[in-house]
Each structure stands twice: as structure tokens, then as C-alpha cells.
Structure 1
Amino acid sequence: MTNRILTTHTGSLPRSPELTRLLVARDQGHDIDVDALRAETDRVLARTVEQQLTTGLDVVNDGEVPRVGFSTYIRDRIDGFGGVGHRKPTLDSIKFPEYAAFQARQIDEGAEFARVWDTPLAQGLLHYDEERAGVRSDLDAFERELARNAEAGRRPAGTFVSAATPGIVATTLLLDEENPHYGDHREYVFALAEELRVEYEEIVARGHTLQLDAPDLAMERVIHFGDATLDEFLAAVDLHVEAINRALRNIPKDRVRLHVCWGNWQGPHQDDVPVDELLEHLYRAEVGAFSIPFGNPAHQHELPAFRHHPLPDDALLIPGVIDVTTNYLEHPQVVANRIVEAAEAVGDPARVIAGTDCGLATFASYEFVATDVAWAKLGALVEGAAIASRRLFG
């Protein structure tokens, strides 16, 4: 039983410019110095783990430092991807063409970016790496840094490792229409669930909480399912949750937390599906905690939804109380107010862990917050949680 509000974040943390350059170059198929990539990854990982602990965060991870992106990394672990697919534009870009042009102007000419929008297709039979080399390598490196910090007296209250869900992979790395192995989206999603299960079970077996990154359960309403009705989208949410549950069949639900978001780009977000429409569908997931953003202007008004749709009895809420798309630094009192509102909506402060809206570096080269500001925001999260703890627990 906790007597204070614990803190965590959503996954990705700032990489160094050099690591970003190397990851993006590899993502684009260029030849790189593998030894240099390994050395820079180790250096940034060491800094990232230590800085989380010295900042005061309670539940920490590896910052997704070794990955070029939170979902596209999976193509390096599952065989069957190739070619280039093209995702639909967001409804923001369609409905606000001047905004779309403004965003395009923010990209420097000639700059190279990770493949966020034009990504590989599922062209063949999916098969997860039998050696589990990628996930094991990442876990080994993370655990070495945890051990090093423990020797110096820095120990977290808990650890988590993030992984992409079947639904976000299926809506990001699209199914090639000519793939002979999967006839439709449903078959593809469930095939992904079976392959991703290998990674999920490895993470939990190593003692970490599994965070499932599932922005598809909200964000894809305005991208992949932008032409669908709300009912059609919610049916897809149910399908994706069913696939998640199938992949989790061997994992206790209290070892899993689910992150759902509406995308962390700086846009109008006028067509985001309200959380009130989503919660009953999200609650079908066999997980122990729900990470949902409420620190941004489009959704910070929605916390009262938990009064109308109470959390499952055995579940926690990880409300996002830090906006990850702006360099405005939240005042700790603002953070505390958001945490208190979340606790009051849930009805029990012991069931709330304070978090961020989304990752602070979702893809290498795709970040909105400066590195020093990002860490200051996490510091404000810790300070705000301490203030909220005094108000909620006395």
C-alpha cells in the first residue's frame, strides 16, 4: 500500500544528436559504423538511466534509447517486412491545409528523418527472431545500467519496458495487399499478436513491467480509420484489444500497463475521439494499468469520465499530467492540481501513478521538446507528485 503518488513516464526519452544521426542513417539503409553506434547507445543509455534516478522518477526504463521508433523497431525483430508503404494523412492535415503547410516548413530542406510515415510493408510470412537477439540485447544493456546504479545506491521503485502492440504495428507497417499469407487486417493483427507474444513474455520473465504502446486505440481514429464511422472505429478497437489479450495469455495482468494516446504531434486534434467513448472498450484489455494523456489542451478536461466509467476494480490509472509537445514548463502546482483531479475522479489516490502524456522522443529525429526542457518537465512531475501526495495523503 503506497502513501504517496509514484511517478513514471511513457517510454521514449531524448537521445543525443549523434545517436539520432546514427539511428536514422541505419533506418534509411545507409552504411554506418556499427561500433560507433554501439558505443553511443551505451553512453546515452547510461546517462538516461542515471538521470531518471537522480531526477527522482520512481518507475523507470531504458528511454527506448536503442530504438529508432516506438513501433517501427519491430521490423528488425520480425521477418516478413519489405518495400515501402504510405500511411494516410491525419485529419488535421486535411482539414487545416495551412497548418499542414506550416508543419512542412518546419522541416529543414535536406534534413534526414526516421521513417515515421512511409514505412515498410508486411510482404511475407511473419516470424519473430528465434534467438530473440534484439529484445535480449536491449534488456541486458538496461539491466547492466540498473546494476551499476544500484551499486551507487540509486534504485528505482520499479522498472518497465515498452513494446508495440499488434494494432499499432498493423496500422503503421501496413499489410501489403499482395501478401499471400494474410487475407485481411484481422488475420494480420492476430498473426502479429502471436509473434509479438515472444517479446512480451521475454520482458516479463526478466522481471520488468510490460508497457504496451497502443496509440492505435485512439490516434488511428484520425489516420488509418479517418474515413470510418465511429462505430466502425470502435469495432477495430475491440479487435485490437482482442489481439492484445491473445498475446498476453501467459502473462498476469498486474505485470502489464497499456498506453493509449491520440498522437503527440503539435496539431489541432479537433477530431480526436473522446475518452468517454473509449473507456469501456479499453477496459476489455487484460492489463493492470491504463496510461492515458490528460496534460494537453485537447484532453485535460476529460478526467471526470472516470466517474462515469470507473476503472476496473484491480486496475491503476497513469494519467499524463505533462504535455510532451510544448516547451512550456509546467509549474509543479499545476502538475499537482492535475494529479489531485485524477485521484478524485478515480476515487482512490493509491490507484494513481503520475506520468507523461506520451514519449518525449517518440522517433529519433521526431521531437518537439528540447532535451534540457524535457528533463526539467520530468523534474516538475516529481515535484508536483510530492505536492499532490501531501494534499492527498496528509
Structure 2
Amino acid sequence: METSRDRILITHVGSLPRNDVLTELLIKQEAGETVDAGQLAAEKDKAVAEIVARQTAAGVDVGNDGEQQRVGFQTYVPQRMSGFGGESIRPHPRDLKEFPELMEVQKRRFPRRGKGHNNPQAVAELKYLDTGPIKEEVARFKKASAGQFKEGFMTAPSPGIIATTMLNAYYDSYETYLKAIAREMAHEYKAITDAGLTLQIDAPDLAMARVINFQDLSDAEFQKLCEAQVEAINLGIKGIPRDRVRLHVCWGNFEAPHLFDIALDKVLAIFLRAQVGALSIEFANPRHAHEYPTLKTIGFPKDMLLIPGVIETTSNFVEHPELVARRIEEAVASIGDRERVIASTDCGFGTFAGREWVIAPVVWKKLEALRQGADIASQRLWGKKSAA
């Protein structure tokens, strides 16, 4: 995994805006409607090539395919795994239940989008069917990105976010279900790292699920579930060198008050049990921007990279580069090592097809601000102008 040896590198969390044509095709495919396979492949080729070019133009060092090839960061899984059927009745976030007016506004804002709720549920033994689709995604990205990034990565969902999205109606316990998912997703995790890419495990379940699936539990009860979810991650990536895996955790990439989020100091120690080489975590989120001191009080491992979110992903404000630089400097101070910090966004900009909070032109401006802020911070941290 790349480190910031002579300047602060920048990355992002994975999803980037999809164009309208690709969005419509992906949503239709997810809904079971007929989609022309040739047209879909051609649109994916076009979108991945464009998204790679956009990232390099913005100065991204560690990039990916922008999840252009998926309808959602985790909801694509039933297309690749048997054992799902029926419908999950997943709770709405506590914030939206407490503020129903906000839920109505969001329904009007995103009338047609990829599924975030009411996906299939597990109704039989899970079986990962074929690594062909993930290998196709990897090949398309590698072809488009050859020589463009210092490092390429590919995302895949954690067992926990799959389990809390596609609910269990078959296995005898939540823990058994987690292990079954980990066993099957291991095929996808390994295919990504075997191709020479860094694997990013997306695990919003480790924080966000507190206000969705587990909103009626105590913090202590949620912590126990988090421990099981991290164990499942470790099971799924067993045998993969930890420096080939980074873990993303967030409190949910949706606009809401976030009044009921669990505090970082209650879960960070659990996150750090994951056998990964880097932790990507929100710090631009207004409800969590104050939590850098937790990295000191809990203690951040000397052999782990920190990928702090210093760009917020649900508003069309473009952060000033000076603010970005200050956030990066605070991150560096919190772990005491400039080389182990890679600056990032809080979350993805295209979590589900058709549900983009930030318009595409502003996304690129935000990534440019990330690059500019990282360069300012680099000049201060290394005492010289950073190399482009």
C-alpha cells in the first residue's frame, strides 16, 4: 500500500457520479427489466474511462473505477450470489423516523434510484456463483487506468453491511449468517487482490447500522455486534496480506441531523481489530469532525495508515483548500506521522445509482480542493513545495 513519503497523497472512498444513461440501465437491470447487454457494456467502458480521466485531472493518487459498474456499493451482491429471494423490510434510519418531513423531501428529490431498502433476503444457503463479473470489472478498470495512478483500488462490501441490507430469513443466527457471507465474499475479495489492486472493504455497518438495524439496542449491545462483524471481515480476508486491504467505516452517507450516531470513542477500538493496513473514516462530517483526539486516547496502531475524510460528501459546498490543509494537519498530529496519512473524502459521491447528493461538476471541484489542500499541508509538513 502506498504511503505519503514526500507529500500527502489523496484518494476518495469509491463511488463517483454516474451519467444519466448508465444510471438508467443499472436501475433497470436491478429491477429485472430487459437491458441490452452490449449497450450496458459499452456504457460501462465509456463511464470508467471518463471517471479515471476525471480523477487524474483532479490530482487523485490512489483511484478506482468510481463504482460505475454497480448499481450500489452493496446492493449488487444478489446478482452474484444465490440464496436470496423475497424482500427484506429494512428499518429507516432513526433520524428520518424522528424527522419524517426530511424523509418526504428525500423521496421527492430521488424519485428513481437504486435500492437502498427492501432488497432481497437470505432464504437459502448462500453460494457465490461466479468470479467472472468481478474479474470483468477489474479488467475494465485496469485497461482504463494503466499508468494513471500510484495505486489502484476496488471496493467490496463487508459481510456486516450485506447482512444488514439483505436480511436473514434462513440461518439460525445473525452470527452464522455473517460467517456464511464472509465465506462466500472471500471469492470476490481474493479476486481483487489477486489482480494486484488494493481491496477496500466498505463497512458502514460498523457505525451507521447503530441508527438503522440496531437503533433499539444499547451501545453495549451494538458493540458486541460490531465485534462479530469485524470477526466476519477477518474471516473473509483471511490469507490476504493486511497491507493489501483498507477498511472504510462511516455513519451513513445521507443528509440528516445524525443526532443519534454512536460516538467514535465507543467503537474505534473494535474497528482496530480488523486485520487491515489502513482505516478510512469520516472526519469532515459535522457530527464527527471533533473526534480526532479519540485516535490519541484509544491509540492508533503504528503499522496502520489513516485515511481521514477531509471533504464532506452530502453538500454542494466546496471546501476551501486552507480548511482541507488544516484538517489534514490535525489528522497528522493525531497519529504523529505524516507518512501514514492519505487524505480522502468522507464517503462516496454515488452510493446508489440515481441518488447523488452532490452534482457532478461540484464533485470534481471538491476533489480539486482536496488536492490543493493536500499540497498546502505538504508544504508545511515537509517544509518545501510538494512535488506534483
TM-score calculated relative to the size of structure 1: 0.94
Answering whether residue 162 of structure 2 is matched by residue 163 of structure 1, we say no
Larger deviation, residues 47-56 vs 351-360: 47-56
Answering whether residue 327 of structure 2 is matched by residue 338 of structure 1, we say yes
Matches within 5 A, 1:62-77: 62-77=65-80
State the partner residue of 2:281. 292
Deviation at 1:156, TM superposition (A): 1.1
Answering whether residue 378 of structure 2 is matched by residue 375 of structure 1, we say no
Percent of aligned pairs sharing the same letter: 46
Deviation at 1:292, TM superposition (A): 0.2
State the partner residue of 1:280. 269
For 2:18 and 2:77, the matched residues in 1 are separated by 19
SS of 1:119's partner is coil
For 1:69 and 1:52, the matched residues in 2 are separated by 20
For 1:103 and 1:211, the matched residues in 2 are separated by 28
For 1:61 and 1:97, the matched residues in 2 are separated by 36
SS of 1:72's partner is coil
The equivalent position to 1:194 in structure 2, one of 178, 183, 189, is 183
For 1:268 and 1:352, the matched residues in 2 are separated by 28
For 2:99 and 2:49, the matched residues in 1 are separated by 42
For 2:184 and 2:115, the matched residues in 1 are separated by 22
For 2:358 and 2:62, the matched residues in 1 are separated by 21
What residue identity is the alignment partner of 1:118?
Answer: N
Answering whether residue 250 of structure 2 is matched by residue 261 of structure 1, we say yes
State the partner residue of 1:229. 218
State the partner residue of 2:347. 358
For 2:26 and 2:72, the matched residues in 1 are separated by 9
Q: Structure 1, residues 77-110: CA drift from partner, whole Å, max 9, x if none?
A: 1111111111101110222233333333434xxx
Deviation at 1:124, TM superposition (A): 1.3
Structure 1: which 5+ runs fail to align? none
State the partner residue of 2:118. 118
Matches within 5 A, 1:309-348: 309-348=298-337
Answering whether residue 12 of structure 2 is matched by residue 9 of structure 1, we say yes
For 2:116 and 2:321, the matched residues in 1 are separated by 33
What residue identity is the alignment partner of 2:201?
Answer: L
For 1:79 and 1:116, the matched residues in 2 are separated by 20
What residue identity is the alignment partner of 1:103?
Answer: Q
SS of 1:66's partner is coil
For 2:8 and 2:312, the matched residues in 1 are separated by 19
- Give the number of aligned pairs: 380
State the partner residue of 1:252. 241
Deviation at 1:73, TM superposition (A): 1.1
- Kept after mapping to 1: 8 A contact 2:208/2:261: yes
What residue identity is the alignment partner of 1:119?
Answer: N
Q: Structure 1, residues 252-310: CA drift from partner, whole Å, max 9, x if none?
A: 11111000000011000001011111111111100110000111211111111111122
SS of 1:360's partner is coil
State the partner residue of 1:58. 61
For 2:104 and 2:25, the matched residues in 1 are separated by 28
Matches within 5 A, 1:95-134: 95-107=98-110, 111-129=111-129, 131-134=130-133
For 2:133 and 2:35, the matched residues in 1 are separated by 18
For the aligned residue pairs, the C-alpha RMSD in angstroms reads 1.1
Answering whether residue 90 of structure 2 is matched by residue 87 of structure 1, we say yes
- Kept after mapping to 1: 8 A contact 2:85/2:120: yes
For 1:39 and 1:105, the matched residues in 2 are separated by 31
The equivalent position to 1:215 in structure 2, one of 195, 204, 207, is 204
State the partner residue of 1:145. 144
For 1:43 and 1:94, the matched residues in 2 are separated by 39
What residue identity is the alignment partner of 1:161?
Answer: M
TM-score calculated relative to the size of structure 2: 0.96
Deviation at 1:114, TM superposition (A): 1.2
Larger deviation, residues 45-54 vs 380-389: 45-54
Matches within 5 A, 1:5-44: 5-44=8-47
- Kept after mapping to 1: 8 A contact 2:87/2:118: yes
What residue identity is the alignment partner of 2:136?
Answer: S
What residue identity is the alignment partner of 2:367?
Answer: L
For 1:374 and 1:162, the matched residues in 2 are separated by 19
| Runs of 4+ residues over 4 Å off in structure 1 | none
- Kept after mapping to 1: 8 A contact 2:49/2:145: no
For 1:99 and 1:116, the matched residues in 2 are separated by 16
Q: Structure 1, residues 6-54: CA drift from partner, whole Å, max 9, x if none?
A: 0000000111011001101111111122211111111011101122112
What residue identity is the alignment partner of 1:50?
Answer: A
What residue identity is the alignment partner of 2:162?
Answer: V
SS of 2:86's partner is strand
State the partner residue of 2:386. none
SS of 2:222's partner is helix
CA shift in 2, pair 1:184/1:301, >3 Å: same
What residue identity is the alignment partner of 2:305?
Answer: L
What residue identity is the alignment partner of 2:189?
Answer: Y
What residue identity is the alignment partner of 2:137?
Answer: D
For 1:77 and 1:269, the matched residues in 2 are separated by 33
For 2:52 and 2:103, the matched residues in 1 are separated by 36
What residue identity is the alignment partner of 1:210?
Answer: L
- Kept after mapping to 1: 8 A contact 2:155/2:202: yes
For 1:101 and 1:36, the matched residues in 2 are separated by 34
SS of 1:14's partner is coil
SS of 1:342's partner is helix
- Kept after mapping to 1: 8 A contact 2:203/2:247: yes
Structure 2: which 5+ runs fail to align? 384-388
For 1:159 and 1:54, the matched residues in 2 are separated by 16
Deviation at 1:331, TM superposition (A): 0.8
State the partner residue of 1:240. 229
